[in-house]
Amino acid sequence: MKNLFRVCSLRFLNRRLKFHIDSDNIKGGYGLLNSKASLDNFPQKEQSTQSISCDRSTTYTRSKLSTSAKMQVVFLGTSMFPTANRSASSAILRFEDTSLLFDCGEGTFRQLQRTTIRPHDIDRIFIRGMKPDYIFGLPSFLCSKAMQATNLEKPIEVFGPQGLRRYIRANMRACFMRVPTKFMVHEFVVNKVKGINKRKWSLDEEPHEDELIGKDISCFEDGSWHLFADDKFCVKAIRLDADSFCWGYVVEEVELHLKDKGLHSLESHGKRQKVVFAGYSTLEKVLAVVESADVLVYDVSPNCKNVLSLEPNSSGTMAGQFAKMAGTKCLVLTRFEDHADQKIKNLLHTAGSSFGADAVIAAKDFMVVTVGSNTDSLQ
């Protein structure tokens, strides 16, 4: 009798549990029905644009993933830390047949799986700082990507500030991780910086068994770190603060002279497409490098020491001021610390007031912004 009573009780509980889950789904909870409905908002291959109006009559054009678009920014994560609706900081810049990953916060690989971009499309990763929401997803991303790779795939290249090699090596060794396709880490060399010299990077540490030797990249004459260039585009790193804890990236369409393949021979002709990933900076060399960007992807959460003590709404004001000084066409706010709708609306309002233009967007996970014709038509 006791066993029969237990069996009946378990069946009764299972029915109650099933009814409870189904009820949550019907009410719009985070169950199966709600997840299935949200799949319609994920990027698709065919191009489609949609005009969205928000407060202050601001209108911008958001597009879906397209193979015909020359340059697109795909936001995988837009938060300073993972939440129910936003993943940690991460974005992909698609340039023709190339995909570049900027930042790799926790859950980046899973977010990527929910788009039409495949992991093997990404062979370069750029990290903006040694902060949790920038790097916590990096070791798992390298291993997961390698597990789905083919024998013909190139090694993964990672670019970032000093300390990135040590972080990756420590995580790989602690968890006995392997990357069959190999990887290499290129670090930015900064001389005579007080904040950097205080840290011990263990540069003489032995490389990981799957690691290829990366480069130590020094600052160039224009005040930026030239990272990569080919006959289509170039990528530069910029130091946003004096302590070198905050970094930004500039991706620009260029033409490379065949007579000299050195980075110093880069020249561009005609209209270029230019995207900048950055935060606030008052350094003159930074403004010169990011000038006239088509899209500025701006971190509104405080990073650098000179902005940590400011009021929350001042982040929007500083974003607008920086975009205006740089002559940016479109300003996209991301990496939110406070996800309340009213807080984000306040940031949009203050950023738009300082920017002096309505081309201000609050990024969301899986949002796609097309660079070029769409940003030119912003009203």
Q: Shortest CA distance to 62 belongs to which of 332, 298, 247?
A: 332
Structurally, the chain folds into a number of domains equal to: 1
Q: What is the distance between the alpha carbons of residues 101 and 76, in angstroms, rounded to a whole number?
A: 10
For residue 40, the model assigns a pLDDT of 39
Q: Shortest CA distance to 232 belongs to which of 71, 374, 47, 45?
A: 71
pLDDT tens, residue by residue, 144-188: 888 877 665 789 999 999 999 999 999 999 999 988 889 999 999
Query: How many other CB atoms are there within 10 angstroms of residue 70's CB atom?
Result: 16
**Kind and range of the H or E run holding 216:** strand 216-217
**Is residue 40 in some structural domain?**
no
Q: Are strands 90-95 and 98-102 parallel, antiparallel or unpaired?
A: antiparallel
For residue 372, the model assigns a pLDDT of 72
Q: Shortest CA distance to 241 belongs to which of 285, 198, 197?
A: 285
Distances (CA, A) of 154 to 97, 173, 179: 15, 22, 12
For residue 283, the model assigns a pLDDT of 76
Residues β-bridged to residue 156: 183
Q: What is the distance between the alpha carbons of residues 240 and 281, in angstroms, rounded to a whole number?
A: 5
Provide the residue type at 29 as one letter: G
**Is residue 29 in some structural domain?**
no
CATH number at residue 114: 3.60.15.10
CA dihedral of residues 78, 80, 81, 84 (deg, nearest 10): -40
| CB 134 within 8 Å of CB 80 | no
Q: Which residues of the chain have pLDDT under 70?
A: 1-69, 150-152, 192-204, 242-244, 255-271, 302-314, 373-379
**Kind and range of the H or E run holding 322:** helix 314-326
Q: Shortest CA distance to 91 belongs to which of 369, 360, 373, 371?
A: 369
pTM: 0.77
**Kind and range of the H or E run holding 160:** strand 156-161
The first and second tokens of residue 176, run together, are 């006995």
Q: What is the distance between the alpha carbons of residues 47 and 77, in angstroms, rounded to a whole number?
A: 22
CA dihedral of residues 249, 255, 260, 265 (deg, nearest 10): -50
The first and second tokens of residue 124, run together, are 């370069």
Q: Shortest CA distance to 311 belongs to which of 278, 347, 345, 281?
A: 347
pLDDT tens, residue by residue, 55-101: 322 223 344 666 566 799 999 999 998 999 999 999 999 988 899 99
For residue 357, the model assigns a pLDDT of 77
Tokens 């950097």 belong to which residue?
196
Burial group, residue 49, by CB count within 10 angstroms (0-12, 13-18, 19+): middle
> Domain residues for 144?
45-374
**Is residue 130 in some structural domain?**
yes
Phi, then psi, of 70 in degrees rounded to 5: -75, -45
**Is residue 10 in some structural domain?**
no
**Is residue 196 in some structural domain?**
yes
